């Protein structure tokens, strides 16, 4: 992934509330959760999580940070933590 947070790769689930970022990729695999999430990755892309699109974290749930409310384009979606972890992002000016 070509995403960076303080110089290290990051994903959408790691961003703080209010943070805007740019999608770099959507992966079907996650390093800390076994399995291949091809269908979930495909669905995220269909929803608009595509390379170059600006996203913003609007809210995180109180218990465990789920769900994550994310704005992409003019739409808002609630994602589970592991779904947000499939979305690679870069902060503006970090690439």
The tens digit of pLDDT for each residue in 32-87 reads: 555 667 899 999 999 999 999 999 999 999 988 889 999 999 999 999 999 999 99
What are the sequence ranges of the domains in the chain?
12-90
- Give backbone dihedrals phi and psi of 75, rounded to 5 degrees, phi first: -110, 155
Q: Is the pLDDT of residue 5 over 80?
A: no
| Cα–Cα distance list, 28 to 46, 54, 61, 95 (Å) | 14, 20, 24, 22
First to last CA, the chain: 11
pTM for the full model?
Answer: 0.83
Assign domain 12-90 one CATH number from 2.160.10.10, 3.90.1150.10, 3.40.190.10, 2.30.30.90: 2.30.30.90
Determine the average pLDDT of the residues in 5-17: 78
């Amino acid at each position: 992934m070509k995403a960076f947070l303080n110089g290290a790769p990051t994903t959408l689930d790691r961003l703080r509330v209010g943070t805007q970022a740019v999608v770099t990729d959507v992966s079907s695999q996650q390093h800390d959760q076994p399995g291949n999430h091809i269908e979930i990755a495909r669905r995220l892309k269909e929803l608009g999580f595509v390379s170059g699109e600006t996203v913003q974290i609007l809210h995180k749930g109180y218990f465990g940070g789920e769900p994550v409310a994310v704005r992409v384009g003019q739409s808002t979606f609630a994602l589970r933590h592991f779904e947000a972890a499939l979305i690679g992002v870069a902060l503006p000016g970090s690439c």
